[in-house]
């Protein structure tokens, strides 16, 4: 199994905030995690649509808005499943 966190870089979040958001996104802490970057909410949603079409599991993280971003901001998502299937969805993205 593989987990890929898709982190929005357009929000200007600090490294610490991004780490916290990534931790929220992890579905199974015993599986390896890779963090990739997406340029915007639009790109994030496009990747998640691709995951949905390919029947690859994912979950979205919406921030509570207590620190750096407004409440309800979609900050990142986790795509997880069989490595080959996850790579089909996320393989073109760059590491964070």
For residue 59, the model assigns a pLDDT of 96
Q: What domains does the chain contain, in order, with CATH numbers?
A: 2-90 (3.40.1490.10)
In the chain, which ranges are E strands?
2-8, 33-38, 57-62, 74-81
- Quick one: pLDDT at residue 28? 84
CA nearest 86: which of 11, 28, 8? 28
* pTM for this entry: 0.92
Q: Are 75 and 8 in contact (CB under 8 A)?
A: yes
β-pair partners for 8? 38
Rounded Cα–Cα distance for residues 56 and 19 (Å):
23
Q: Give the mean pLDDT of the chain.
A: 96
């Amino acid at each position: 199994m593989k987990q890929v966190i898709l982190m929005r870089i357009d929000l200007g979040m600090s490294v610490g905030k991004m780490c916290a958001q990534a931790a929220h996104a992890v579905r199974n802490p015993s599986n390896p995690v890779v963090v990739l970057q997406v340029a915007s909410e639009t790109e994030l949603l496009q990747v998640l649509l691709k995951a949905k079409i390919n029947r690859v599991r994912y979950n979205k993280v919406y921030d509570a808005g207590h620190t750096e971003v407004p409440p309800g901001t979609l900050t990142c998502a986790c795509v997880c499943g069989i490595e080959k299937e996850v790579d089909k969805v996320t393989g073109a993205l760059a590491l964070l």
